[in-house]
């Protein structure tokens, strides 16, 4: 069965996000003064072949831990959805 994993990888809350701070400033300059905070991370879609949703979950977790997220600086979360 095919599954789609939607992964969000974000900088840890405890850490500064200089890119987000820069974007906050730029949005203010564009007139969007209601913007208070911006944090920027990665969104990754993975299409994978697995025998069950459980296995897809496990593979995605492994991919995040081993390669996609740097857990010293980033946290990750994901959802799995079955594709037809």
Q: Which residues bind its own copies (CB under 8 A)?
A: 2, 8-10, 20, 23, 26-27, 30, 32, 34-50, 59, 62-63, 66-68
Could you give phi then psi for residue 52, rounded to 5 degrees?
-155, 165
Q: Determine contact, residues 5/58, Cβ cutoff 8 Å.
A: no
CA dist., res. 3 & res. 82, Å (int): 4
Nearer to its own copies, 13 or 72 (CB): 13
Nearer to its own copies, 67 or 72 (CB): 67
Could you give phi then psi for residue 57, rounded to 5 degrees?
-60, -45
For residue 79, the minimal CB distance to its own copies (Å) is: 12
For residue 76, the minimal CB distance to its own copies (Å) is: 10
């Amino acid at each position: 069965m095919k599954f789609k994993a939607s992964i969000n990888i974000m900088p840890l809350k405890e850490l500064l996000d200089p890119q987000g701070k820069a974007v906050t400033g730029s949005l203010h300059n564009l007139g969007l003064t209601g913007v208070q905070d911006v944090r920027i991370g990665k969104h990754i879609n993975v299409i994978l072949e697995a025998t069950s949703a459980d296995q897809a979950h496990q593979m995605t977790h492994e991919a995040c831990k081993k390669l996609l997220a740097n857990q010293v600086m980033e946290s990750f979360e994901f959802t799995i959805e079955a594709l037809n």
